[in-house]
Structure 1
Amino acid sequence: MMTKIKKIIDFAGILLENPSLINITLNENSVLQKKFKQKYGNFVALPQIEIKDLAHNDVSSVESFLMDGSSLITDLQLLATLAAREDVNSYFEIGTWRGESVYNVAKQIQDCTTMNLSKLEMKEMGWDSRYAEQHGILSTKNSEILHLEGNTKAFDFASLNKKYDLIFIDGDHSYDMVLNDTKKVFKHLLHENSIVVWHDYAYSPQKIRYEVFHAILDGTGKENHQYLYHVKNTLCGVFYRGDIDTTIFDDMEVPGKIYHNTIISEKFS
């Protein structure tokens, strides 16, 4: 008991010295899970689907830097698989980072658009200039990809005057920004067969990120919850209106498959 009391006193002292740490504490996934369950007590997780069940055509390989901030190979495989479908001919992406996602999608379709903060705005916000300069380092290699600059808080999505077949939401992963991006995408960019993918619905394929999950449910509206899924082996949630087989999420699932991967590297400049 005395050990626990000492830990509490020590922690209080740390917070007094570093008040900003309280935000980290309040944003702990367990705290956010409790808040989530207060509103969505009937949701344990989204039902799971598999990448292969979304495929119309096989996608042989994807490219990645395999560095900090990169999507999982399976996340990129999901996007490439969706882009290879006969009913997907246009793509819109929020949050580009190095451009790996859109670069792989653009191998399948020509009509690809991304939106990201400008490098100037990132630097003005105090972000590391090396981080800002790496944005689009891969995707700008493809001149056919349209790179838009803007803040989705203020951007008028209606001005695009277009509906997209596939949309990837991968910007700021705070509740407020996922909610903002989701609501605007659903209001302005969707047609009846659009597919939406959210990155970082999960921290890992078996650990849900409740802040993002909460925003997805609030942003899509109750009428669309029946079309939401977690794509197994990925960090992604997806909105998909088609019929598809599902399984129940299990955060301690015993492996039933093993996947074979071949990694080939080459110089990048």
Structure 2
Amino acid sequence: MKNFPTINIEELFPTDIINQRLILENFLGCYGNMSIEAVCKLCLIAKYIKPKKIFEIGTFNGLTTSQIALNTDALIYTLDLPMEEVSEAKLLKADLDLSLSRQETGICFKGNPKVTQLWGNSTKFDFSPYYSEIDLVFIDGGHDFETKKSDTENALKMIDKGVIVWDNYLDDTNPETTTYLNTLDLPIYHLRNTFLAIYIKK
């Protein structure tokens, strides 16, 4: 099965998207965080589409969340697995190791009134209150095939018109993300120099 095409961000959006000014603070991450280029491109997208509500699956330390919050006026909901449920969840070893080694969940945005921390296993979480309510979904939770499938199916229900962005596409350390996304019959694109894949629902 072929991979989705790789493009520059300005091929998908008007070219002035790359001329926007971004605010970044305390953006030097740790193992498990995205590259700075990926964070910037996600922030450029968020700033350009001016979402009212954003849903993130996979909080980790909240670095990505905090940068998005600096660059949009959106309300941000971010979901992560509580530590007490980590051992019970069916995680890939890499995801398990990352969950057990993480700093305090959401520490980078702690106290930010724009951000609401939600807790739960995304494969069991009730997303129905957010159906048709979200403008941008960012998926960076469990990287196994079934979790990515569940998260994507819920993301598609959360947006009527909007954007879904996935991390770890074409990432050899998380191959099941690529395997799953390549099964989808959707106009998805890979953003050059990142592991981000994007779908715009119009």
CA distance in 2, matches of 1:174, 1:77: 25
**Counterpart secondary structure, 1:147:** strand
| Equivalent residue in structure 2 for 1:213, among 159, 166, 178 | 178
Is the 1:92–1:164 Cα contact (8 Å) retained in structure 2? yes
* Alignment counterpart, residue 145 of structure 2, candidates 167, 175, 183: 175
Letter in 2 for 1:190: I
- Tell me, in whole angstroms, the C-alpha distance in 1 between the residues paired with 2:113 and 2:41: 23
% of aligned pairs identical? Answer: 25
Judge conservation of contact 1:57–1:84 (CA < 8 Å) in 2: no
> Aligned to 2:194, what secondary structure does the other structure show?
coil
Q: Relative to total residues, which structure has the larger strand share, 1 or 2?
A: 2
Q: 1:177 to 1:124 in 2, by over 3 A?
A: closer
CA distance in 1, matches of 2:7, 2:52: 22
2:164 corresponding residue in structure 1: 196
What is residue 114 of structure 1 aligned with on the other side?
A: 78
- The 8 Å contact of residues 58 and 140 in structure 2, kept in 1 or not, is answered as yes
**What are the equivalent positions in structure 2 for 1:9-88 lying under 5 Å apart?**
40=1, 43=2, 45-53=3-11, 54=13, 55=17, 58-63=20-25, 64-88=27-51
Q: Distance in 2 between matches of 1:241 and 1:159?
A: 20
Report the TM-score, using the length of structure 1 for normalisation. 0.63
47 and 150 in structure 1: CA distance in 2 versus 1, 3 angstrom threshold: same
Unaligned runs of 5+ in 2: 90-95
State the partner residue of 1:105.
Answer: 68
Decide whether the 8 Å contact of 1:167 with 1:197 is kept in 2. Answer: yes
- Using the TM superposition, give the Cα deviation of residue 47 of structure 1 relative to its aligned residue in structure 2, in angstroms: 1.0
Residue 137 of structure 1: CA displacement? 0.9
**Higher Cα Rg, which structure:** 1
- The residue that corresponds to 1:137 in the other structure is 107
CA contact 2:43–2:68 (8 Å) conserved in 1: yes
Q: Secondary structure at the match of 2:77?
A: strand
- TM-score, normalised to structure 2, is 0.82
Counterpart position of 2:130: 160
Structure 1 residue runs of 5 or longer lacking an equivalent are 1-39, 243-269
Q: Which amino acid aligns with 1:211?
A: E
Q: Which amino acid aligns with 1:196?
A: I
- Partner Cα separation in structure 2 for residue 66 and residue 161 of structure 1: 31
Is the alpha carbon distance of 1:137 and 1:87 closer, same or farther for their aligned partners in structure 2, counting shifts above 3 Å? closer
Larger RCO (CA within 8 A; separation ≥ 6):
2
**Pairwise CA RMSD:** 2.6
Count of residues paired in the alignment: 190
> 2:22 touches 2:43 (CA, 8 Å); kept in 1?
no
Distance 2:67 2:105 in 1: 16
**1:238 matches 2:202:** no
